Structure 1
Amino acid sequence: MKKSLLLLAGLALATTAANAQDVTPANPKTEVEVRDNGTVKTTTKTGKTDVGATLDNTKDAAGNVAVKTGSAVKRGARKTGSVVKRGAKKTTHAVKKGARKTSNAAKEGSQKLEEKTE
């Protein structure tokens, strides 16, 4: 179980990292600025800005947190269920044992009464 969970987590991280590195936009933007002294400044924007990359990483991280939380809740429910089941078995056993003792005591008491009445 742990090995498969670790494998899935590793694949999720590798997929997230691969998606985060895909920063090639469909249309690179080129800006041309002419300064007061007549020189030209050309700026080409390719890829995501820092803010865009951060937003994508945040979405991926939120998805990972949701998956981890869901798994933790599921595991906790399983553990709680098994504890409740075990407690119910113990209680059932104790009740049966007490009933047997009471029954045996009642039988002994009735036998003593029968002996006295004879």
Structure 2
Amino acid sequence: MKKIVMLAAAALFSTAAFAQGDKTTVRDDATGAKTTVEERDNGTVKVEARSGRTKAGQKAYNTKQDVKSAGRKTGNVVEKGAKKTGKAVKKGAKAVKNKAEDIVD
């Protein structure tokens, strides 16, 4: 009896998942609004709409993007400086090595 119930439940879930049809999503990048239309094989249509960001939400999003951009720029500058410093140290060490060899010879 348990096995029959489990098989029936599995069949129902797989049928329900199979009944899901095409999904179309339209997004307005300016406001962030999103509308999703889902057409199922059995003829039903599900429409889901989400409004865009509020003014405060948009400001928070813009701040996040600005911080991300500034962090990336700062990281690039630090990396460039570290590479230049490393190159200078390497060059200086090579010069010291050359002088030391001259003195020993």
TM-score normalised by length of structure 1: 0.46
Out of 74, 77, 80, the position equivalent to 2:82 is 77
Q: CA–CA distance in 1 between the matches of 2:66 and 2:77?
A: 16
The aligned residue for residue 66 of structure 1 is: 71
| Counterparts of residues 30-69 of structure 1 (less than 5 Å) | 47-69=52-74
Matched, 1:26 2:34: yes
Q: CA–CA distance in 2 between the matches of 1:59 and 1:72?
A: 20
Would you tell me which structure has more helix in proportion to its own residues? 1
**Identity of counterpart residues, as a percentage?**
32
Q: CA–CA distance in 2 between the matches of 1:72 and 1:89?
A: 26
The aligned residue for residue 113 of structure 1 is: none
The aligned residue for residue 91 of structure 1 is: 96
Counting matched residue pairs gives 62
Q: Which segments of 5 or more consecutive residues in structure 2 lack a partner in the other structure? A: 1-28, 36-50
Max Rg structure: 1
CA RMSD of aligned residues (A): 1.9
Q: What stretches of structure 1 move > 4 A for 4+ residues in a row?
A: none
TM-score normalised by length of structure 2: 0.51
Would you tell me which structure has more strand in proportion to its own residues? 2
Q: Which segments of 5 or more consecutive residues in structure 1 lack a partner in the other structure? A: 1-20, 28-45, 101-118
Over 3 Å counting, the alpha-carbon distance change for 1:55 and 1:99 in structure 2 is same
Question: SS in structure 2 opposite 1:60?
Answer: helix
Question: SS in structure 2 opposite 1:22?
Answer: coil
Deviations 1:29-75 (A, max 9, x none): xxxxxxxxxxxxxxxxx743321111110110111111112111211
